[in-house]
Amino acid sequence: MNKGFLPISRQEMEAQGISQLDFVYIIGDAYVDHASFGHAIISRILEANGYTVGIISQPDWKKKESITEFGEPRLGFLVSAGNMDSMVNHYSVSKKRREVDAFTPGGVMGKRPDYATVVYSNLIRQTYKKTPIIIGGIEASLRRLAHYDYWSNSLKRSVLLDSGADLLIYGMGEKPIVEIADALNSGIDIKDITFVDGTVYKTSSLESVYDAITLPSYTDLKSDKKIYAESFYTQYCNTDPFVAKRLVEPYKEKQYVVQNPPAKPLSQSEMDHVYSLPYMRTYHPSYEAAGGVPAIAEVKFSLVSNRGCFGGCSFCALTFHQGRIIQTRSHESLLAEAEKIVWDKDFKGYIHDVGGPTANFRHMACKKQAEHGACPNKQCLYPKPCNNLKVDHKDYLKLLQKLRELPNVKKVFVRSGIRFDYLIADKDDEFFYELCKHHISGQLKVAPEHISDNVLKYMGKPENSVYEAFQKKYKKINERIDKKQYLVPYLMSSHPGSTIKEAVELAEYLRDLGYMPEQVQDFYPTPSTLSTCMYYTGYDPRTMKPVYTPKNPHEKAMQRALIQYRNPKNYELVKEALTIAGRTDLIGFDKKCLIRPRNMGNSYGGRTKKEGKSKENYQKKKKTIRNVHKKKK
């Protein structure tokens, strides 16, 4: 097994004694040989199973020769846009171009194309007409069937069709990639590899497809948003590896995209094996001159302890990608990795994180899941914790205690998400006490997201009373251990279900709390989430009832401004929002008011004609938004 970096050039390939690679991996990120990067895991897994892999990182998509560095691979090309969807990587929620790409040497933006999976695959096909192309990673995984694309404001086909690839791997991919490699190596044609769980393939005949649900055709999905909402919920209920059916999505005549059931979750020993492979734990040395790869800073001294999440937040794509069944590494595996970290020359004594999608999930939600999977139509924590839910932090606590005892370790932080409703459901407070005493530094970041129960139900989050109970307990524990530590709540504006009324309620809550967030996340409609489906269709796919969604950029700006109402830059937006909501009682000098009057002689928000905003145009805009909210009521 290769104990150095995988080859990124023909010269390195030949230096390693390889005349022809089995796989060439095209990636949209810089090559970072660390287990927090999908391309590193897949490459090392293939290598551990006897296959050779070369990496072409961020090829120039305008030049065909950029993907011919290694020549034709023996078995096929692998393609991934990177650790992020390329569109999320490139654009903010307001669709403005980002300035920094943390996954590129020096943080330089623009080294990958928009819709990178499609562009790279088509670039390969221009030169290699028949070589198998297998796509994967987060971008392909969440675009595997017809999906709403926020950036083009359109319903796109399965990325498998637009890319021209032969096969798509969704989810984390360790099991499917080995099964596919073995099949190709044995001489099976890529078009006949239709039997691998965790994959999507295209076919002109359904004769060999069994135990399948046929979804509405792409034509029907485009013609009726309600049909798309129903189809999406069928997909959402078929993400469990134990109970999911095959899904068939028809396109034109005799063209079908077939999604096989998800791959089975990794056992603890399999998970340990994945993280024991000989990663170099950093970026390729060729990037040093450019200043390295910024993304390594967040993960270099962190430990991934689990995968999957049974939290079920509507705006999160984890259900579609990693699934709801928790997979964990053993204490021995994590301690072995930590032993490497603590002797690193750059280690300062702080393990930055021990967690995953949700740090305090260290076992399956209930015993039933191990054999029967997660319930298709029922969540583990929402709207209330399930009676069968196993709430226990003992294993996680023991892990953190062991890590604290390692040499050179000053502090072990927990920075990935803590599910606060799961934490306070634990009748044993020992973990909560130790978390406050040892594993945070001055503040704990949590994600209530909103305070309106109406908005929270669309988010799939617990009622606000649960967060308030958590706040009180957090404060009480910190008083007992004689520490002044704070909660930093993550809040989201403009989520489906949020009107100006709910946004004002949130502002009032923050006023009473005496807190103004430095950062606010405006809802971002990324592919394959329940919330994105609501945004696009106007229906909650769980109930098929209409749901109001703020889409007007100006209204979204007002909702965001309300959360940061103390910022003088937001004054006009806040005043306008309060006027539209009929809450001008919050404009004044009373302590309950959000803002004070300004330019009192100007009834339309203090803006002048010089600022390009006439009273007449303002009143028209205000009337339009107000009418929308009257319809909602």
Residue environment code for 389-399, b if the CB has 16+ CB neighbours within 10 A, otherwise e: eebbbeebbeb
**Cis omega before residue 383 (within 30°)?**
yes
Backbone angles phi, psi at 304, to 5 degrees: -90, 115
Query: For residue 426, what are its two tokens?
Result: 């634990």
| Residue ranges per structural domain of the chain | 10-201
Q: Which CATH architecture has domain 10-201?
A: 3-Layer(aba) Sandwich (3.40)
Beta strands in 228-321 (DSSP E): 246-250, 256-259, 282-283, 302-304, 306-307
Place of tokens 């008083």: 479
Cα(157)–Cα(202) distance, integer angstroms: 12
pLDDT at position 578:
97
Please give the pLDDT value at position 609. 39
Instruction: Provide the 10 A C-beta neighbour count for residue 512.
Output: 9
Query: Is residue 248 within 8 Å of residue 256, measured between CB atoms?
Result: yes
Locate 216 and state its tokens.
């509405």
Tokens of 45: 């897994």
Angle (CA) 215-218-220 rounded to 5° is 85
CB of 578 within 8 A of CB of 586?
yes
Closest CA to 383 of 542, 558, 580: 542
Please report which helix (H) or strand (E) contains residue 147, including its range: strand 147-149
The beta-carbon contacts of 598-607 under 8 Å, at least 24 apart in sequence, are 598/571, 605/572, 605/575, 605/576, 605/579, 606/571, 606/572, 606/575, 607/572
- Residue 445 forms beta bridges with which residues? 488
Residue 194: name the closest of 174, 209, 172 by CA. 209
Q: What does the CA dihedral 365, 371, 376, 380 come to, rounded to 10 degrees?
A: -10
CA triple 260-264-269, angle to 5 deg:
155
CA distance 44 to 46: 5
Rg (CA), the chain: 26
**Which pLDDT score is estimated for 602?**
43
Phi-psi label, residue 442: left if phi above 0, alpha if psi -120 to 50, beta otherwise = left
pLDDT of residue 610: 39
Q: Is 501 exposed, middle or buried (0-12, 13-18, 19+ CB in 10 A)?
A: middle
* Contact yes or no for 517/563 (Cβ under 8 A): yes
CA distances, 425 to each of 365, 384, 389, 467, 470 (Å): 13, 10, 10, 12, 10
> What does the alpha-carbon distance between residue 440 and residue 471 come to, in Å, rounded to a whole number?
15
Containing H/E element for 99?
Answer: none
CB-CB contact of 349 with 411 (8 Å): yes
Closest CA to 304 of 364, 360, 357, 355: 355
Along the chain (633 residues), what's the average pLDDT of each consecutive run of 10 residues? 88 96 98 97 98 98 96 98 98 96 97 98 96 98 98 98 98 97 98 98 94 97 98 96 96 94 97 97 97 96 96 93 95 97 95 95 93 90 95 98 97 94 96 97 93 97 96 97 94 97 96 88 96 98 97 96 95 96 96 87 39 47 60 52
Segment holding 80, helix H or strand E:
strand 76-80
Closest CA to 435 of 421, 415, 405, 449: 415
Query: Coil, strand, or helix at residue 352?
Result: coil
> How does DSSP assign 422-440, residue by residue?
HHHT-S--HHHHHHHHHS-
C-alpha 523/C-alpha 625 separation (Å) is 19
Residues present in the chain in total = 633
- Convert 352-388 to b/e letters by CB count within 10 Å (16 or more is b): bbbbbbbbbbbbbbbeebeeebbbeeebbbbeebeee
**DSSP type of residue 486:** E
Separation of alpha carbons 545 and 526, rounded Å: 21
Amino acid 601: pLDDT: 47
Separation between Cα atoms, residue 47 and residue 464, nearest integer Å: 49
Q: Which two tokens stand for residue 623?
A: 């009337």
- Predicted pLDDT of residue 619: 54
